[in-house]
Amino acid sequence: MTTSVFKISNTKEGAIYPPEQVFCKQDFLYMLTIGGHIVSAEVEYQKLMNCLRKLGEKEFYILENLGTQVMDREIPFYAKVPVLSYLSDFDNIVNQFDPIFGLMPYHFFIYGQNDSWGIYLCEYPTINIIGCRENLIQDFSEVFNIKGNGFEEEKNFISREYKGYPEMMQALVNNYHL
């Protein structure tokens, strides 16, 4: 359950989550999409799977950022998803953990063996943060249909999510170079 892409704490108390920087790769660039799920439809999921196969991935991993919730569990949700899968397969795996995926404000690290990319599924604000090396920006932009880094498109939404906490919005902008 380790990765060189994210700052993953072994304790709930040490958990890091946005607006703090959850990625540890200094050479990553960041893009945003609206969150709530890894993708919005099967077509987008297949684009993502094609992109991951192009990167040499055979599977990708989902790891819960356990410290973002107050709960009794000590072990985070963890699953492997083959890149030769469908969105319904992904949903079935995640539904074993959260029957109504997206209802609870869980945060997840998504990553593979290739340490040149990662996706953070964030429920507050409800965005996905895609981090990758510069040579992959175009590929992930096409997968998620992102213009620029996606911030301008999501700025109003994020502002509403952080309503009353402008310092959190500014921290997100600063930490992810938006």
Assigned domain for 133 exists: yes
Percent of the residues in the chain that have a pLDDT greater than 70, as a whole number: 90
Residues 3-27 have a mean pLDDT of 88
Where does the pLDDT of residue 145 fall: very low under 50, low under 70, confident under 90, or very high at 90 and above?
Answer: very high
Indicate the helix (H) or strand (E) that contains 140.
Answer: helix 137-144
User: Has residue 29 got a pLDDT over 90?
Assistant: yes
Give the chain's radius of gyration (CA, Å): 15
pLDDT at 98: 65
User: Has residue 132 got a pLDDT over 90?
Assistant: yes
Assigned domain for 146 exists: yes
Assigned domain for 12 exists: no
Assigned domain for 16 exists: no
pLDDT at 44: 96
DSSP secondary structure, 9-21, as one string: -SSSTT---TTS-
pLDDT at 130: 98
Assigned domain for 148 exists: yes
Assigned domain for 14 exists: no
Interior angle at CA 73, CA 70 and CA 77, nearest 5 = 105
Domain count, the chain: 1
Residues of the domain holding 65:
28-175
Is residue 47 within 8 Å of residue 30, measured between CB atoms?
Answer: no
User: Has residue 69 got a pLDDT over 70?
Assistant: no
pLDDT at 71: 62
The mean pLDDT value of the chain amounts to 90
3-state secondary structure of 24: coil
Q: How far are the Cα atoms of 19, 50, 89, 129, 166 from residue 162, in angstroms, in the given order?
A: 10, 34, 33, 16, 7
* Among 178, 138, 135, CA closest to 155: 178
